[in-house]
Structure 1
Amino acid sequence: MDDCVVIAIHCGHCLAFCRPGAESWIAVGNYPYWFEDIIFYNGKLYAITSQFDLMLVELGSHPKVTSCSITPPKVELSFTSFYLVECLRELLMAIKCCTFKIFKLDPKGPCWIKIEDLDDQMLFIGTRIGFSLSALDYPGFKGNYIYFTDDSNNGLASVFHLEDSSSIETFSSNCSHSSPSLPI
């Protein structure tokens, strides 16, 4: 367990991490922008800011956060939230406005490329979590859909069909939760 680490977005502007046996959390910088999401992808830890700046997070003996200098996607800044998700070994950014916009990282660019189709893949996103699965492995689910929860609809689960950009449909389950921010 020596290689285990817990990292969190602390107060929006700071990242903090802790290792087993440590007596306190270690803050990594205090930035003028908000961190929106963090992800462990391709053997590295990344964070994304409210200005679409993808940051590499290094937690070695001298922790630091540096910009990856990725050209941001061309979107209006009237989004409500966005998420980093790994899908088929690619890094995606899902931006929720009234609908969803999905971008894939092109490391050769380096830039974000808008994608319109997830094929048989489904994205599951919510406060504190994001992952993808193939609908072929889960009867009753449909590919090219985004299943999500967020605070804007009191934590209810919703679904969005990416192909036709149909409206967001809210659905309820038989579960009752005390917190609207529970992960999926």
Structure 2
Amino acid sequence: MITHGEQGDLAFCRAGDESWTILRRGFRPYDDIIYHKERFYTLGNHGGLDAWDVSSSSPKRTVIAQVPPVLTGGRVIHKRYLVESSGDLLLVLRHDYFDDDANSPSQLHRTGGFKVFKLEERSSMNPRWVEVKSIGDRVLFLGDNYSVSISAREFPECSANCIYFTDDNGLDCSINTEWGVHDLGIFNIQEKTIQSCYPTESLRIIGRSVWVTPSL
């Protein structure tokens, strides 16, 4: 399943299909897509979550959850991510602030922090997003291309209960900007602090940065 085109059309293609099938045209752009528990989940740019069953000739859409609480204090939601972690479906909200002391217009955009929600599903009530204050020993890697959760016990080089993020702001990632990608870091969920991914100042990256999961 993909979103494509300027209007964010939603389409899918099953094994053996000779062409893509359009599910929805771009009146409702999507922020993220994930395959979870044998269904595709799409996250609208307003925060609403839908589930899609495309196993039959007549794909079925189910509205799952409403928009979680909006951040307060003047913070702007820059991006929303879906990621599976220990069998749970998480929604991560990334908020920005604007740095008035920046030396370049491209540096005005900075990540201020994250909020994490878990989809709570009970038979006696409708699914809902519940805020998560800790993800334990898990580590989240978020980005435009793919988001993944790993265990810090299995990968002790990574910091537990943290979010590693890349710069996926379209303006900052343009090859025409002098500064290139600069908004990368590690967010500690418990302490609500951000530290650099690098021990020293690094050269700017031109173009979008992505996470790569090696297959060993």
TM-score of the superposed pair, with normalisation by structure 2: 0.72
Any runs of at least 4 consecutive aligned residues in structure 1 with deviations exceeding 6 A, and if so which? none
Residue number in structure 2 paired with 1:107: 121
Residue number in structure 1 paired with 2:32: 37
Deviation per CA, 1:98-140, whole angstroms, max 9, x where unpaired? 2100000111242101111111110011112111111011122
SS of 2:194's partner is: coil
- Please report the RMSD computed on the Cα atoms of aligned residues, expressed in angstroms: 2.7
Deviation per CA, 1:47-70, whole angstroms, max 9, x where unpaired? 1101111111122202243322x1
Comparing 59-68 with 115-124, greater Cα deviation is found at 59-68
Distance 1:63 1:134, change over 3 A: same
The answer as to whether partners of 1:155 and 1:181 remain within 8 angstroms in 2 is: no
Length, aligned pairs only:
177
After TM superposition, give the deviation of residue 23 of structure 1 in Å: 3.0
The answer as to whether partners of 1:119 and 1:143 remain within 8 angstroms in 2 is: yes
SS of 1:72's partner is: coil
After TM superposition, give the deviation of residue 172 of structure 1 in Å: 8.3
Residue number in structure 2 paired with 1:116: 133
CA distance in 1, matches of 2:168, 2:26: 24
Residue number in structure 1 paired with 2:155: 138
CA distance in 1, matches of 2:84, 2:209: 21
Residue number in structure 2 paired with 1:67: 63
The answer as to whether partners of 1:28 and 1:64 remain within 8 angstroms in 2 is: no
1:14 paired to 2:41:
no
The answer as to whether partners of 1:151 and 1:180 remain within 8 angstroms in 2 is: yes
After TM superposition, give the deviation of residue 162 of structure 1 in Å: 0.7
Residue number in structure 2 paired with 1:4: none
**2:194 corresponds to which of 167, 172, 175:** 167
Deviation per CA, 1:14-42, whole angstroms, max 9, x where unpaired? 21112344332111112522211111112
CA distance in 2, matches of 1:171, 1:93: 27
Q: Within 5 Å, which residues of 2 pair with 1:143-162?
A: 143-152=160-169, 154=181, 157-162=184-189
CA distance in 2, matches of 1:167, 1:27: 40
Amino acid at match of 1:37: D
Distance 1:53 1:139, change over 3 A: same
CA distance in 2, matches of 1:123, 1:145: 6
Residue number in structure 1 paired with 2:210: 182
Fraction of identical pairs, as percent:
29
- Over alpha carbons, which structure has the higher Rg? 2
The answer as to whether partners of 1:156 and 1:172 remain within 8 angstroms in 2 is: no
CA distance in 2, matches of 1:126, 1:119: 21
Residue number in structure 1 paired with 2:46: 51
Gaps of 5+ in 1: 1-6
Distance 1:28 1:137, change over 3 A: same
